[in-house]
Amino acid sequence: MPKDPKQRSKRSETARNVDATEGLPPLNVNAAGIDVGSAEHYVAVPTDRDAEPVQSFGSFTADLHRMARWLKNCRIQTVVMQATGVYWTALYDVLESYGLEVNVAHAQHTKTLPGRKTDVQECQWLQKLHTFGLLNKAFRPAEEIRVLRSYLRQRENLVAAAAMCVQHMQKALTEMNIQLANVISDISGTTGMAILRDIVRGERDPEKLARHKHARIRASHQEIARSLEGTWREELLFVVGQSLELYDTYQEKIQLCDQRIDEHLHRMEAKVDPASEPIPEPTRRGKGSRPRQPHFDLRGHLYRITGVDLTQIDSIDVRIAQTVISEVGLDMSRWKTEKHFASWLGLCPDNRTSGGKVLKRGTRRVVNRAATALRLAAWSLIRSRSALGAKFRRLRSRLGAPKAITAMAHTLARLVYRMLKFGHHYVDQGIEYYEAKYRQQQLRWTAKQAAALNMQLIPLPEVGG
């Protein structure tokens, strides 16, 4: 092995200059590559298709149509581009409308291939890799799922903005030593909002403000009244008033967004008729905070378009279910097996090995809202009296919380895949069934270890009660 740094540098440079396409048969002869930009797109086609095989086009709609016509004239059938921000979405739709097969490749895939581009442009490098079939097509759901996803992501943004307004109000109250948040759990609830609206209108009497106490509030009338004694400052009351107005505005926008989501779900094709196949009874959940539900029957809509009730899986509520469906869609044929699906979500081990040794253990860094939702669902199993809850607690005690969350999210992803692809219904076997099954596994493993040591297990006689 050379010890000279210059020799090592030359050898590494030679490895980088290896052409990954050398000796490979071309798979996509009529392929083009596009380097997507915010104001200009560079396109490369095979050198025998045009006198200028590399051309640039603007980002205006007319320019995109001109690009598509040029590609058709060059007898291009398939196009590849990188997912650069959101600049590629409009180009994708225009090229697809012209009958071109559009492939969106992950930028990291082009970087890991040997023989990186030097003096060639990015579009030529993409066109070359796509010609020899070295780029994987990124996942993009169907049009109706993309529309649903846009609505739901907008709703999430509105909910987050409304929550920020609540934080601003709570901060202003704390600065005035109004300790309302210490006696009621949520100041955006019925009692808290009624008190805040009276404060903005000018009411300062703690006894009168405490009369808005709801029957379900555990704190007494006197405790609420004492928490509302503070120093009323005009500038902070102004902050509370403006934050309350913004909160009401966001609530109105959330209702309008819910209306659009409801209308879109109504237009989606149904797999089951709720009249003939009624939705199963909801699974009993443990105590805990629950997110604000939409202003329509979201669970019924999801059951109608999927044919299964994902909320039967313990820890998956209707919000988790809608996030998963809006991100991955309804067609599971995109992934051959449930293992491929879990790997795409970044919930499978991706160990770094060299020379047969594991250098680093972990999962791939994948930014996926569906995976994040499944991780949240996995953590909520900590107090679940179900088979999944028992499995999560066992994994948590053995592996620690982070690894156990990933492992349970992997299990939930497999269950979701089976239900959506095969139409299976999930039935919880219960914690007793899981504990008995785990005990049998331990007995079989112990018997196997004893047999390897030329020993035998002898069960103890049962002691009568």
Give the three-class secondary structure for 324.
Answer: helix
Please indicate whether residue 443 or residue 340 has the higher confidence score (pLDDT): 340
Q: Looking at 49-58, 119-128, 170-179, 428-437, which range is the least confident one?
A: 428-437
- The domain ranges of the chain are 25-131, 145-267, 298-432
Please indicate whether residue 21 or residue 297 has the higher confidence score (pLDDT): 297
Residues forming a β-bridge with 43: 34, 55
Binned at pLDDT 50, 70 and 90, residue 7 comes out as low
Q: Domain 145-267 carries which CATH code? A: 1.10.287
Q: Which of 333, 341, 350, 391 has the alpha carbon at shortest distance from 370? A: 341
Q: What is the pLDDT of residues 58-79, one digit of tens each?
A: 999 999 999 999 999 999 999 9
pLDDT at residue 463 in the model: 61
Q: Residues 51, 45: contact at Cβ < 8 Å?
A: no
User: Is it the case that residue 321 has pLDDT exceeding 70?
Assistant: yes
Q: Looking at 103-112, 162-171, 189-198, 310-319, which range is the least confident one?
A: 103-112
Binned at pLDDT 50, 70 and 90, residue 122 comes out as confident
Report the percent of the chain where pLDDT is more than 70: 89
Binned at pLDDT 50, 70 and 90, residue 454 comes out as confident
Asked if 25-131 and 145-267 have one fold, the answer is no
User: Is it the case that residue 408 has pLDDT exceeding 70?
Assistant: yes
pLDDT at residue 288 in the model: 41
Encoded tokens for 209: 């403000």
Q: Which of 114, 164, 162 has the alpha carbon at shortest distance from 134? A: 114
pLDDT at residue 21 in the model: 61
Per DSSP (E only), the strands in 18-157 are 31-35, 40-44, 54-58, 78-82, 101-105
pLDDT at residue 289 in the model: 43
pLDDT at residue 63 in the model: 95
* Alpha-carbon radius of gyration of the chain: 29
User: Is it the case that residue 401 has pLDDT exceeding 80?
Assistant: yes
User: Is it the case that residue 1 has pLDDT exceeding 50?
Assistant: no
User: Is it the case that residue 286 has pLDDT exceeding 50?
Assistant: no
pLDDT at residue 244 in the model: 96
Contacts 24+ apart (CB under 8 A), 430-438: 430/386, 430/387, 431/385, 431/386, 431/387, 431/389, 431/390, 433/387, 434/387, 434/390, 434/391, 435/390, 438/390, 438/394
CA distance 112 to 129: 12
Give the three-class secondary structure for 61.
Answer: helix
Q: Looking at 5-9, 110-114, 265-269, 391-395, which range is the least confident one?
A: 5-9
Q: Which of 292, 295, 297 has the alpha carbon at shortest distance from 186? A: 292
CA distance 314 to 384: 8
Highest average pLDDT, of 20-34, 254-268, 287-301, comes from: 254-268
pLDDT at residue 173 in the model: 94
Residues forming a β-bridge with 419: none
Q: What is the pLDDT of residues 196-248, one digit of tens each?
A: 999 999 999 999 999 999 888 888 999 999 999 989 999 999 999 999 999 99
pLDDT at residue 377 in the model: 94
Q: What is the pLDDT of residues 10-54, one digit of tens each?
A: 455 544 555 556 667 888 899 999 999 889 999 999 989 999 999
CATH topology of domain 25-131: Nucleotidyltransferase; domain 5 (3.30.420)
Report the first-to-last Cα separation within the chain, whole angstroms. Answer: 73
CA distance 255 to 295: 7
